[in-house]
Amino acid sequence: MSRPLVELDGVSKRFDDFVAVQSMDLNIMEGEFLAIMGSSGCGKTTTLRMLAGLDQPTGGEIRLNGEPINALRTWERDTPLVWQNLALFPFLNVVENVEFGLRMRGVGKAERRRRALNWLGKLELGEFAHRNIAQLSGGQRQRVALARSLVTEPPILLLDEPLSALDANLKVHMQSVLTALQKEIGITFVYVTHSHSEAFAMADRVVIMSKGKVEQVGSPQEIYTTPCNRFVAEFIGGKNIIEGHVAEISGTQVRVDSPHGRFTAQAAPGRTLSGNEAVAVCVGAEHLRFARAGDAHPGDNQLRCRVVGEEFVGAFITLYLRTETGLDVQAQIPHSERAGLPLEDGVWLHVGWPAEASRILRQT
């Protein structure tokens, strides 16, 4: 079992009266790929900057390999940061950019050239070693920035939205490059991003932040299938949320009354609910099924909806629906299931889902 490489113990950060990060307790494990997500201003980049030594915590302690690093200056830590804009030096060629950190550490010319060329080879950039930075593509520059950070062989690498400027195809390719590289070398990656697809595709664990606070930490699968509260469910998207009150509790199943009907859902393990408590029923768009003419209602929960639009999303179609009571609903189905369904705008359909596919959420 891996051990904690970085420990954030009650770490907070204030800028005058603004609280950017609230008392954060988080262990980052040795060799893991950790993604930190959240909307703008949630504190994720400030957290990364505190790890890098660019911002000093207002309170709490950061430890690397068990040793406090709060007092260490940026260049005294072994926590390199790959910037969103990459911050490559235009007056140095590719290999000189990669050598830069080694030169600052006093590594001899022959040794730093050997190590720089070795990393350029690992990232398939050997033939570009003496090329000017301006002559490289976006993806090539990205790999140069990675090589420059990894050539010192740090225990951890911090990445601040490094793929945000790349086009869609190149972004997917670089995701595979990053994940393969991280698994190969075993260095801990801490990756800040707005993108759900990036975090869920690459990370072992995901941290969701809001207003400076950690809302949930878990695997991508845990975050998606069992969001801990309404904020997380809405942030990751693809969820239908129905507000109501607890009407009846039977074991792990909870029946909820709402203005849109009565629904049955699963309570979260260890969650204690009380009668008439305000809750929200959450069900993923992928779990909704449609009743064709003559079929029984599909599932324990039903809604009668009117089609208001549709969107092609890769291999799936997202259908936008609205109930008679004004509830907006989305359903995601494969293209193959579209045939035979009357999906023209304005058509009324019955949709349903099983109780086990929906969860009870806290409202905050």
**pLDDT beyond 70 at 292:** no
Q: For residue 275, give the DSSP letter.
A: T
User: Is 1 exposed, middle or buried (CB count within 10 Å of its CB: 0-12, 13-18, 19+)?
Assistant: exposed
Mean pLDDT, residues 56-75: 94
Lowest mean pLDDT among 189-193, 271-275, 310-314, 321-325: 271-275
**pLDDT beyond 90 at 251:** no
The fraction of the chain above a pLDDT of 90, given in percent, is 57
Whole-angstrom distance, CA of residue 21 vs CA of residue 32 = 23
Name the residue among 77, 75, 107 with its Cα closest to residue 5.
Answer: 77
Q: How far is CA 139 from CA 65, 123, 135, 163, 197, in A?
A: 32, 11, 12, 9, 18
pLDDT tens per residue, range 31-43: 999 999 998 889 9
Name the residue among 297, 298, 303 with its Cα closest to residue 281.
Answer: 303
The fraction of the chain above a pLDDT of 70, given in percent, is 96
Structural domains of the chain, ranges and CATH numbers in brackets: 4-225 (3.40.50.300), 230-361 (2.40.50.100)
pLDDT at 343: 77
pLDDT tens per residue, range 201-233: 999 999 999 999 999 999 999 999 889 888 999
Whole-angstrom distance, CA of residue 56 vs CA of residue 39 = 22
**pLDDT beyond 70 at 364:** no
Are 107 and 125 within 8 A, CB to CB?
no
Whole-angstrom distance, CA of residue 341 vs CA of residue 292 = 7
pLDDT tens per residue, range 171-205: 888 888 889 889 988 999 999 998 888 899 999 99
**pLDDT beyond 60 at 293:** no
Are 342 and 349 within 8 A, CB to CB?
yes
